[in-house]
Amino acid sequence: MIDVLLILFGVLLTLTVGAAVEYYRQIALVKKEYKKAKETVEDIILSFNRQLKREAEKLEFVAYKVEAVSAKSDKALKRAEKNEEQMLALESKISKALEGKEEVLKRVNETDEKLRDVITSQEKLTKKVLSIEERERQLPLIPEERVEAVIPIKREKVFAPLTETELSVLEILTVEGPKTAPEIKERIKLSREHTARLMKKLYEEGYLERDTNKIPFKYRVKKEMAKLLKKTEEKI
């Protein structure tokens, strides 16, 4: 009898434990399903919120566009009004110009007459000039007096533009060889600035060569210029 009771007790205990395990398993499944459902609902709510946000942004953008279009319309209306005012002013000016058309034509005719008078006067003046030139041609030619240059070296055309001081510098360099600007300054008795400008001028115009290896620069007469100077001296 005791064995039967023990067996029954064991069976009941086993059933109870099994039922409890199944109950807890079902509870775990329910919790899991609840969690999934909760996450799904949260996702749906989040997606809905995002969609609402996008729609709100679209509405804001549309409202901004509407405001911009409205502002542009106002500007266009103001421009149209301004253009209309300008057109009215232009029409007024055109009307005034047309009213003064006869006066303008009269002035143009007067200007044409004055221009014709000027042309006539110019033609008369041209005839007088031609007449004077013809008379000059008929006058006997007077032979020009030949004037000898004070400095014979200037007879060469290449040296004609030079001053006496510049010619003296060329002669010094030809006879004594290369010299610096300070050395030339002592010979021609000019200021340092004046001498420097003179030497630079002769160099730039092609009369002199310049040695730039040392400072102050040394100047010397170009070979072809030296030959011309010697020829000129020989002629003298």
Going residue by residue through the chain, which has 236 residues, state the pLDDT in tens, using 9 for 90 and above. 777 888 888 888 898 888 888 888 898 888 888 888 888 888 888 887 888 888 888 888 888 887 877 777 788 788 878 888 888 888 888 777 777 767 777 787 888 788 788 677 767 766 765 666 566 555 543 333 332 333 333 345 677 788 999 989 999 998 899 999 999 999 998 999 999 999 999 999 999 999 888 888 999 999 888 888 776 665 55
Please tell me the pTM assigned to this model.
0.34
Which pair of tokens denotes residue 82?
């301004």
N- to C-terminal Cα separation, the chain = 174
The CA–CA distances, whole Å, from 205 to 161, 165, 223, 231 equal 11, 15, 14, 20
pLDDT (0 to 100) of residue 148: 33
Which pair of tokens denotes residue 229?
């100077």
Q: Using CA atoms, how far apart are residues 42 and 65, in angstroms rounded to an integer?
A: 34
Strand order in the sheet with 218-221: 179-180, 218-221, 208-211
Which pair of tokens denotes residue 236?
């003298």
- 188 in Cβ contact with 165 (< 8 Å): yes
Beta bridge partners of residue 210, listed in sequence order? 219
Q: Using CA atoms, how far apart are residues 195 and 65, in angstroms rounded to an integer?
A: 79
What does the domain layout of the chain look like in residue ranges?
100-135, 154-235
Select 154-235's CATH number: 3.40.50.10380, 1.10.10.10, 3.10.20.30, 1.20.1050.10.
1.10.10.10
